[in-house]
């Protein structure tokens, strides 16, 4: 059987596919210590809330109504109106429902947007997406229709007290050229938990405007919902910014609901793409979100339940790591948001890919760092010294995984 070029590219057994298979197998096997995937936590208060909300919606016929009807290609109109009102009221942004469109998860929004702004263009140019700071989200890596769609830049590394460090954008070496079609950054960042500073974001915004290209901010973990952000950071939007949001990290990844806030022209384009690719985005997630907004629960639960839950979990996970791994063995990226810890084993005599294989044999799953540098042109040893761990599982599991991690690290040093 032979496929088209598109088929060849999108049916490849990519690194991410291998990892997702591991994750799937790990989730089915109760003995595995699963510190790898990106599933949000099962927060008891949120699960209870969704349970009650869904049974009320069912009694009122709202679930059936959502399931039995197509929405328009930009998604459920009542949600677009409610979100526009909420965001303009809480953040002061001059927006209306015409600035909003929904997609089936924000992952499909990235696919649309990367290929809208990068790739082979009618003027003969080939444009690329710039990730100004790698490590960056691995879900972006294979989302280009054309090969080599991405360019990224190494960060500047700031060492902090207590075995912490923080990445910053290295503006002096940013590979931004006439070929750059879009700048994209996740804030908070998966995999590192970094939150680029307000000043960094404003500089990126200025650069994008100077180059007449959009700035895409992936706000899947950010403000005002789900609010998994622990540092002082202000959300930013203007008509040159495309802000992507999601219901996933509220605890609804199965609803596959992504939200795009952008200039009307971009939103019209997204609506047309939705029509061609999926007719309309799914309706269940949006129906739930409308209820949450109307009841005043979306921002309240983000602030009072979701954020404190993750803040506590991350602090506990760091305390466990430090019981087994001193600063000389393991540096930790300052946890400013998202649901991961990014560990840097500076002097590790083996690559983190080998470490991943050894951990997997012992039933512990984490993700080796080199997957998180899409578009980085030159080899950089740092990419093989880092590991991403999800800190969401309960403390017992975290401790089990970290104990084995520490043993494998000592073994690698002893073998060297």
Residues in touch with ligand PLP (CB under 6 A): 38, 105-107, 137, 139, 186, 190, 218, 220, 246, 248, 253, 258
The 3-class SS string of 349-416 reads CCCHHHHHHHHHHCCEECEEHHHHCCCCCCCCHHHHCEEEEECCCCHHHHHHHHHHHHHHHHHHHHHC
Comparing CB distances to ligand PLP, the nearer of 163 and 251 is 251
Least gap, CB of 257 to ligand PLP (angstroms): 7
Comparing CB distances to ligand PLP, the nearer of 274 and 351 is 274
Under a CB-based contact definition with an 8 Å cutoff, are residues 303 and 311 in contact? Answer: no
Residue 77 and residue 101: Cα distance in Å, rounded? Answer: 9
Q: What is the DSSP letter of 255?
A: G
Q: What distance lies between CA 129 and its chain's CA centroid?
A: 16
Comparing CB distances to ligand PLP, the nearer of 32 and 246 is 246
Least gap, CB of 108 to ligand PLP (angstroms): 7
Comparing CB distances to ligand PLP, the nearer of 105 and 181 is 105
Comparing CB distances to ligand PLP, the nearer of 106 and 283 is 106
Comparing CB distances to ligand PLP, the nearer of 184 and 320 is 184
The 3-class SS string of 293-304 reads HHCCCHHHHHHH
Least gap, CB of 77 to ligand PLP (angstroms): 20
For the record, the structure tokens of 41 come out as 């936590």
Tokens 């263009």 sit on residue? 121
For the record, the structure tokens of 213 come out as 């290209």
Comparing CB distances to ligand PLP, the nearer of 189 and 383 is 189
Tokens 């997957």 sit on residue? 371
- In the beta sheet, which residues pair with residue 247? none
Least gap, CB of 322 to ligand PLP (angstroms): 25
The kind and range of the H/E element at 288 are: helix 284-294
Least gap, CB of 39 to ligand PLP (angstroms): 8
Least gap, CB of 362 to ligand PLP (angstroms): 25
- Give Cβ neighbours of residue 202 (< 8 Å, ≥ 6 apart): 236
Least gap, CB of 255 to ligand PLP (angstroms): 9
Look at strands 33-34 and 386-390 and give their pairing: unpaired
Comparing CB distances to ligand PLP, the nearer of 194 and 352 is 194
* Alpha-carbon separation of residue 268 from 73, 315, 324 (angstroms): 10, 43, 53
* Alpha-carbon separation of residue 42 from 38, 55, 116 (angstroms): 12, 18, 35
Least gap, CB of 410 to ligand PLP (angstroms): 31
């Amino acid at each position: 059987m032979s496929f088209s070029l598109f088929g060849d590219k999108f049916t490849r057994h990519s690194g991410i596919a291998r990892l997702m298979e591991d994750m799937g197998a790990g989730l089915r096997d109760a003995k595995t210590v699963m510190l790898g995937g990106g599933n949000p936590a099962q927060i008891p208060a949120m699960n209870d809330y969704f349970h009650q909300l869904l049974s009320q919606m069912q009694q009122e016929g709202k679930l059936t109504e959502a399931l039995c009807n197509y929405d328009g290609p930009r998604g459920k109109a009542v949600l677009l109106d409610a979100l526009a009102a909420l965001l303009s009221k809480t953040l002061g942004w001059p927006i209306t429902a015409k600035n909003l469109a929904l997609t089936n998860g924000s992952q499909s929004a990235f696919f649309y947007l990367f290929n809208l702004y990068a790739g082979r263009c009618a003027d003969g140019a080939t444009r690329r997406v710039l990730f100004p700071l790698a490590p960056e989200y691995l879900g972006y890596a294979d989302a280009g229709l054309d090969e080599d769609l991405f360019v990224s830049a190494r960060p500047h590394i700031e060492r902090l007290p207590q075995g912490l460090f923080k990445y910053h954008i290295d503006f002096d070496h940013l590979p931004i050229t006439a070929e750059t079609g879009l700048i994209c950054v996740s804030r908070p960042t998966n995999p590192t938990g970094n939150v680029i500073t307000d000043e960094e974001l404003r500089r990126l915004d200025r650069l994008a405007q100077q180059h007449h290209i959009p700035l895409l901010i992936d706000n899947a973990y950010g403000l005002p919902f789900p609010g998994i952000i622990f540092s002082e950071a202000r959300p930013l939007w203007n008509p040159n910014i495309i802000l992507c949001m999601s219901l996933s990290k509220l605890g609804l990844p199965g609803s596959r609901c992504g939200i795009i806030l952008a200039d009307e022209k971009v939103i019209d384009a997204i609506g047309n793409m939705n029509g061609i690719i999926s007719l309309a985005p799914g309706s269940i997630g949006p129906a739930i979100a409308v209820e949450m907004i109307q009841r005043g629960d979306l921002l309240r639960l983000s602030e009072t339940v979701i954020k404190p839950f993750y803040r506590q979990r991350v602090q506990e996970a760091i305390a466990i790591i430090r019981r087994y791994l001193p600063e000389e063995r393991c540096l930790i990226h300052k946890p400013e948001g998202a649901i991961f810890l990014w560990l840097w084993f500076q002097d590790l005599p083996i690559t983190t890919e080998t470490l991943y294989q050894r951990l997997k044999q012992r039933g512990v799953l984490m993700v080796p760092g080199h997957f998180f540098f899409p578009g980085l042109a030159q080899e950089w040893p740092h990419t093989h010294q880092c590991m991403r761990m999800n800190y969401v599982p309960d403390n017992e599991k975290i401790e089990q995984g970290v104990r084995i991690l520490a043993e494998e690290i000592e073994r690698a040093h002893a073998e060297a």
